[in-house]
Amino acid sequence: MKSLIILTVVFLTATIAGCGNNGGAKSTNSSALPLKTGKAAAIDFKTQYVYAKSGLNIRKTPSLSSELVTKVPFGSKLELMDDAKPPVQLTYEGLKGVWKLVKYGTDQGYAFEGFFGVFPVPQYGIGVKEYFTKNYGPFEKVVTNKYNVSATEDYGWDIECYFNCGVKMHLTADGFGTVDTITLPGMTIQQAFVFLKLFDLPLLKEMTFPQKSGVKTLSGGDEMTITVVTDVNGFESLMFELKKSVYEKNNDIWIKLIKTNDGTASVSFGNGL
């Protein structure tokens, strides 16, 4: 049975007050509010899109030294094919994965799975939330909680939006900032990293997928702290943190990717968007 990995993307914008409960806002019982499960057409996992900006090589056999069948342009659509052969592992530019049997037009061969995914390449300059709203428009919006009954949906409410691609977006806004959670079916932590780099997020521009913790000095002189936690099954968590001075603590910029116990992967952004 084919496993389904769900990716949760969280955008966090902190304020000077920091984290905590809003003393003036009282949370209502969420069970008294309508809770629904999004229903949309399932994603066609056989259809994939090329994330490699220089193009993706398709080779005759699963090897970097194999004959080149064709190079697929950035953003193009691929079709995953059934393959009876055992998977061949590959690590390339910090990404670990396997060769996949794919079809592009009339050409068929093997391509590394680290550079394609289930969602099309974003339009230039578009943000992550705008990408899904513009391309997949939510078909249902449900208020799941009200921290402040007299407030509006822009302040003090929890809202879930269901999109026409199986994506769910959870929006929270209160006096201490906003949290936007996007659930993406069919993406691993590595695929999420490669996909998010296509949005030109400032924190990821100079990053490749790391294999170990460390500190990287960026071109502007700032230092990026990278924390990697792994287990026998692969990556458990990955964090990029750009530290500001102690007087600018609430302006720290960070992105954290986590694989949860049930196989769900979450990506959290702090002051980065």
Kindly indicate the confidence band of residue 72, based on its pLDDT and cuts at 50, 70 and 90: very high
Provide Rg for the chain, Cα atoms.
20
User: Which residues lie across from 117 on neighbouring strands?
Assistant: 49
Q: In terms of Cα–Cα distance, which of 60, 58, 55, 167 is closest to 118?
A: 167
Give tens-digit pLDDT for 1-51. 443 444 444 444 332 222 233 333 333 333 333 334 445 556 778 999 999
C-beta separation of 116 from 123 below 8 A: no
Q: Does the pLDDT of residue 143 top 90, yes or no?
A: no
Count Cβ atoms within 10 A of the Cβ of residue 106 and give its class: 0-12 exposed, 13-18 middle, 19 or more buried.
exposed
The pTM assigned to this predicted structure is 0.73
**pLDDT score at 41:** 56
Backbone dihedral angles phi then psi of residue 56, each to the nearest 5 degrees: -115, 125
The answer to which of 51-65, 91-105, 138-152 has the lowest mean pLDDT is 138-152
Kindly indicate the confidence band of residue 59, based on its pLDDT and cuts at 50, 70 and 90: very high
**pLDDT score at 269:** 58
Q: What is the mean pLDDT of the chain?
A: 74
Q: Which domains does the chain have, with CATH numbers?
A: 6-37+127-134+163-270 (no CATH), 47-117 (2.30.30.40)
Contacts of 255 (CB under 8 A, 6+ apart): 201, 203, 204, 239, 240, 267, 268, 269, 270, 272
Indicate if the alpha-carbon torsion angle 248, 251, 257, 259 is positive or negative.
positive
**pLDDT score at 67:** 98
